[in-house]
Amino acid sequence: MYHALLFLHVLSAFLLFGAVVMYSAFVLGAPVDPRARLVAEILWGVGGLGTLVLGIWLALDLDAYKIYDGWIIAAIVLWFLATAAGARTSRAVQPAADGRAVALDSRATAVHWVRTVLVLALLVVMVYKPGA
C-alpha cells in the first residue's frame, strides 16, 4: 500500500509541476489556447489535490511521521499559499479572442512567479524534510 501511495503522490507532484511549467509559458508570452489552459487547470487541480490528499494519507499511514511534524505542516502551508497564488494567476490568464499571446499585468506575472517559488519550496521541504 505504501509504495502505491508514494507513487501516486510523486505522480501528482509531477502533474503540479507540469501546470507550473505551462503557466510559466503563458506568462512568458506563449499564446493561451483554450485547450492548453484547460490542460494546465486540470494538471493543477489533479496534481494539487493528489499531492495534498495522498501526502496526508502517507503521513497518517507511516508510523515514522506524524501529521503535526514541522515539515509536514510547512508543506501543507506552502501548498495552500501556492494554491491561493495560483487562483490569481488563473483568473488573469485567459485565452485571447484572436489566439494571440495575452499581455498580463505585472501583478499577475509577479503572483505567478511567487507561486512558482512556493511550489519549488514545497519540493525542497518534501525532499529534505527539515526537522524530521
DSSP the chain: -HHHHHHHHHHHHHHHHHHHHHHHHHHTT-B--HHHHHHHHHHHHHHHHHHHHHHHHHHHH-TT--TT-HHHHHHHHHHHHHHHHHHHHHHH----TTSPBPPPPHHHHHHHHHHHHHHHHHHHHHHH-TT-
Per-residue pLDDT 10s for the chain (132 aa) are 889 999 999 999 999 999 999 999 988 888 888 888 899 999 999 999 999 999 999 989 988 888 888 899 999 999 999 999 988 888 878 776 665 666 677 888 899 999 999 999 999 999 898 877
Tell me the whole-structure pTM to 2 decimals.
0.86
Cβ-based neighbour number of residue 60 at 10 Å: 11
Task: Say what the pLDDT of residue 23 is.
Answer: 92
Confidence at residue 62, expressed as pLDDT on a 0 to 100 scale: 87
Domain-wise residue ranges, the chain: 2-128
